[in-house]
Amino acid sequence: MKAQRLVKSSLRAMARYKLRSGFMMLGSLVGVAALTFVISIGATAERKLLGTVRQLFGASSIVVSAGGGFFMGGSRAEAARLTIDDLETIAQELPGIEVWDPLQVLPGAQLRRAEQTTTARLMGQSERSERVWERGTTSGEYFDAAAVAGSARVALIGETVARELFGDQDPLGEEILIGSVPFRVVGILERFGTDVHGMDRDAEVVVPISTAMRRVMNVDSIRAAKLLVKDPSLVEETTRQVKRILRERHALAAGQPDDFTVVTSLAVQKMVGRIERVFFLYLPLVAGVSLLAGGAVAGSLMLASVNERVAEIGLRRAVGARPEDIRAQFLIETAVTTLGGGVMGIVIGGAGALLLASRMGLGGVLSGQAIALGIVLSTVTGLLAGLLPARRAALLQPADALR
Amino acid sequence: MIQLQGVGRTYQRPTGEAVRALDNVSLRIERGEFVAIVGSSGSGKSSLMNILGLLDRPDQGSYLLDGQNVADLSVNQQARVRNQRVGFVFQAFHLLPRTSALENVELPLLYSDRSEIDGLGRRALEAVGLSDRIDHRPSELSGGQQQRVAIARALVNDPDLLLADEPTGNLDAGSAGEIMGILETLNRAGRTIVLVTHDAALAAHCGRIARLEAGRVAADDHRAPAKDAAQEGR
């Protein structure tokens, strides 16, 4: 009852000094807005990143690519050789491997259908890619092992390709030219959207690996392969064995660098972890610093307010306020003000984050963590900022304060 | 009701010099009295007022309020006594700015343990004749009206002791008369009032005049109050 009256009275006092309260709110508003914005954007990007990583690697997978250096084509990718035979040997020797899928890529393949032309990424894969890459078809059917064995001229096209070449028409069963080679469209790939690199994954064509190698690109090596391991605990050991077999088959002497790259879901998870640390530690730290600055502003304004309201404090003591009532009043005033600023900051920062995310086509999320953190931090800032002014107010001697 | 025995209070000036504001003051005030404490400025009137109101503690002697030695009370217990049993009226009114008359009057209720506080503020404003000024802010009230709000605030918790420190010092003669009239009415209704003033004419309204000189009680006259003077002022 009494506490309730005190809080109400503090709120009224706050409303009496609108300009000062406004400035105090501004500090925590800016800090919390920055915090909410950064964390929400971070969470959105993280969700997108993790989604892509999960799709690329799954829980227990290994990606082998030609060339040393970095993932998906290092500096010597052209000179490197990685063959279907390499992978077949690995799959035979290592019982931990459940299934694998080879990959050859032609980034700018020319597609034509009657008068319509477009450019897309051509990917040569096996019938097992549907399972290994977890991407099937929304209509039509995936090509089968026989199609791969017989280098059939069948193609699965992404939604963007279908739209460019066929408009509103049904592409199934129709013929398209990839380069100068005619293919029959047998399926539409599941929608993927934009990946972390900003690439439209629906502007793709998937054909049997053998057809891509022999009829379109005229190469006898593959770019990469993805291997699924039966048990996540086998990933590390299998990776070691994959490297050993490849080095043996490529006749690499000790000390010579790998001419291939092996990336596992574990390694990627570590990398994602590093990125997350930036999002969730350093960036909020920056926002926290601005909150700190806001707290300092609130504290000094409150201190000035105590000095200005000495007579009021004396009067309150005279009519029966205990020192702790005075302390509570100033703490509540500061905390409620900064909390008010914090709530506004959450609204502004959250709205900004959602706006940016939707502009980048990321499908934003409002981080619940950010909201909770914003509320807690702005309250704590207020309490800390109010501590010294409240203490000074409580220590005033009533007789001195009234003089 | 009030019993001061050999009370002394020494202040330290910022320069380090000690000032003896009260020196061996002994005073007894009975319930229902209307006492004026007079003296020139610097005679210790305000120091005595602060000690009577528990805003300050004596550093010598003892102060018994209704038989209770206030030196034995904790800071919080003293706050409670100020809240429940003492009402203050100041020369400078000390109303909260930008706050309605009613909220100002209800301020002591904020610190009271009473659970039933509805209407007390209104009733107190009614008692000083300001029912029609409830929502006015101090800046919208005349000096006399502001002081009446302050009296209503002093009365809201129904204390038995009213301490008024130069309550008419900032007012014109007409308003001063009104305020004195209110104080006399309150005294007739049984409230003990201690009025600090340097104005002999005001002191003449009181049943008793204690004169302070250099921190000591120089005179203490019990007499019949000049009741008509208050009526003139109205």
pLDDT score of B1 more than 70: yes
Q: Which of A16, A319, A397 has its CB closest to that of B108? A: A319
The answer to whether A222 and A102 have CB atoms below 8 angstroms apart is: yes
Residue A357's H or E segment, with its range, is helix A323-359
pLDDT at A69: 55
Q: How far is B3 from chain A (nearest CA, A)?
A: 21
Strand-strand pairing, B2-12 and B18-29: antiparallel
Contact at CB, B96 and A312, closer than 8 angstroms? yes
Chain B residues contacting A, CB < 8 Å? Answer: 50, 53, 55-56, 75-76, 79-80, 82-84, 88, 90, 92, 94, 96-99, 103, 107-113, 115, 153, 157
Long-range contacts of A119-123 (CB under 8 A, 24+ apart): A119/A203, A120/A157, A120/A158, A120/A160, A120/A161, A120/A203, A120/A204, A120/A205, A121/A199, A121/A203, A121/A204, A121/A205, A122/A178, A122/A204, A122/A205, A122/A207, A122/A212, A122/A216, A123/A204, A123/A205, A123/A206, A123/A207, A123/A212
% pLDDT > 70, chain B: 95
Q: How many CB atoms lie within 10 A of CB B31?
A: 12
Contact at CB, A320 and B84, closer than 8 angstroms? yes
Angle between helices A323-359 and B75-85 (to 10 degrees): 100
Q: Which residues from B are below 8 Å from A1, CB to CB?
A: 115
Contact at CB, A320 and B55, closer than 8 angstroms? no
pLDDT at A58: 67
Cβ contacts of A98 within 8 Å, gap of 6 or more: A228, A229, A230
Contact at CB, B98 and A16, closer than 8 angstroms? yes
pLDDT at B194: 96
Cβ contacts of A355 within 8 Å, gap of 6 or more: none
Q: Tokens 């019993």 — which residue?
A: B3
Q: B34-78: per-residue pLDDT in tens? A: 999 999 888 999 999 999 999 999 999 999 999 999 999 999 999
The sign of the torsion formed by the CA atoms of A301, A305, A307, A308 equals positive
Contact at CB, B157 and A311, closer than 8 angstroms? no
> What's the pTM?
0.70
The answer to whether A281 and A272 have CB atoms below 8 angstroms apart is: no
Q: How many CB atoms lie within 10 A of CB A278?
A: 10
The answer to whether A383 and A71 have CB atoms below 8 angstroms apart is: no
Task: Please give the full DSSP string across A17-29, using - where no structure is assigned.
Answer: SHHHHHHHHHHHH
Environment class of A269 (CB within 10 Å of its CB; exposed 0-12, middle 13-18, buried 19+): middle
pLDDT at B229: 45
Q: B87-110: per-residue pLDDT in tens? A: 999 999 999 998 999 999 999 999
Q: Tokens 């052209």 — which residue?
A: A78
pLDDT at A57: 66
Contact at CB, B110 and A318, closer than 8 angstroms? no
Which residue of chain A is at minimal alpha-carbon distance from B156?
A319
Q: Which residues from B are below 8 Å from A324, CB to CB?
A: 76
pLDDT at B78: 95
The sign of the torsion formed by the CA atoms of A89, A90, A96, A102 equals negative
Instruction: Tell me the domain boundaries of chain A.
Output: 3-52+274-401, 82-258
pLDDT at A68: 66
* Cα–Cα distance, A179 to A215 (Å, whole number): 10
Q: Which residues from B are below 8 Å from A310, CB to CB?
A: none
pLDDT at A72: 47
pLDDT at A198: 75
| pLDDT by 10s per residue, chain A, length 403 | 577 877 888 788 788 888 888 988 888 898 889 888 888 887 787 777 777 777 666 668 888 988 865 544 444 445 568 999 999 999 999 988 999 999 999 998 999 998 899 999 999 999 999 888 888 999 999 999 999 999 999 999 999 999 999 988 999 999 999 999 999 999 999 998 877 677 888 999 999 999 999 999 999 999 999 999 888 788 888 999 999 999 999 888 888 888 888 888 777 777 777 777 777 777 778 777 878 888 888 899 999 999 999 999 999 999 999 999 999 999 988 988 899 999 999 999 999 988 888 887 777 677 787 888 888 888 888 889 999 999 999 999 998 888 8
Greatest CA span in chain B, whole angstroms?
Answer: 51
pLDDT at A196: 67
pLDDT at B226: 53
pLDDT at A358: 82
Q: 3-state DSSP call for residue A66?
A: strand
**Which residues sit opposite A62 in a β-bridge?**
A227, A264
Amino acid at A93: E
Q: How far is B40 from chain A (nearest CA, A)?
A: 17
Averaged confidence pLDDT in chain B? 91
Q: Which of A9, A16, A321 has its CB closest to that of B79? A: A321
Q: Which residues from B are below 8 Å from A6, CB to CB?
A: 110
